[in-house]
């Protein structure tokens, strides 16, 4: 059993080009012994965005705070606290902060990806 608060976990900057104003924390990962999937906490500053990209693994996202959009091709969906987003393997996607406060969300992915 591991019990902690998300704020205790150190943050890092993703190195992928196209990310702007993004920080992430790995809340539960291989270090904690997770065998199948990992839990990550993202913070996107106002005006920031994750890369518009695709990869062969899924995202399961739960939005905690802020005002954002998720983009896919020409489509954009508004997201806010309590929004749930499933991005299937191979789907292009991007998360954007369109508000004045940090956009914060959990993003789970399968392990070793």
Residues 5-24 that bind a copy of itself (CB under 8 A): 5-7, 9
**Near a copy of itself by CB under 8 A: residue from 1, 15, 74, 112:** 1
What is the distance between the alpha carbons of residues 31 and 39, in angstroms, rounded to a whole number? 12
Task: Specify the 3-state DSSP secondary structure of 6.
Answer: helix
Residues 33-92 that bind a copy of itself (CB under 8 A): 33-37, 39, 58, 60, 62, 64, 70, 72, 75, 77, 79, 82-89, 91
What is the distance between the alpha carbons of residues 110 and 74, in angstroms, rounded to a whole number? 27
Contact stretch for a copy of itself (CB under 8 A) within 11-19, 26-34, 42-50, 95-103: 26-34
- Which residues are CB-contacts of 109 (< 8 A; sequence separation ≥ 6)? 37, 38, 40, 57, 58, 59, 60
Eight-class DSSP state of 82? T
Q: How many residues bind a copy of itself (CB under 8 A)?
A: 39
Compare residues 14 and 81 and give the one whose CB is closer to a copy of itself: 81
Contact between 9 and 26 (Cβ < 8 Å): yes
Residue numbers at the binding site for a copy of itself (CB under 8 A): 1-7, 9, 27-28, 32-37, 39, 58, 60, 62, 64, 70, 72, 75, 77, 79, 82-89, 91, 93, 106, 108, 110
């Amino acid at each position: 059993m591991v019990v902690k608060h998300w704020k205790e976990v150190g943050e890092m900057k993703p190195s992928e080009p196209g990310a702007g104003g993004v920080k992430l924390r790995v809340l539960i990962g291989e270090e904690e012994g997770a065998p199948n999937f990992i839990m990550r906490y993202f913070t996107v500053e106002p005006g920031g965005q994750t890369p518009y990209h695709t990869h062969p693994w899924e995202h399961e996202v739960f939005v905690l705070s802020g005002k954002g959009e998720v983009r896919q091709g020409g489509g954009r969906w508004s997201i806010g606290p309590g929004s749930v987003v499933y991005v299937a393997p191979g789907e292009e996607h991007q998360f954007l902060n369109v508000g004045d406060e940090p956009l914060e969300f959990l993003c789970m992915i399968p392990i070793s990806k």
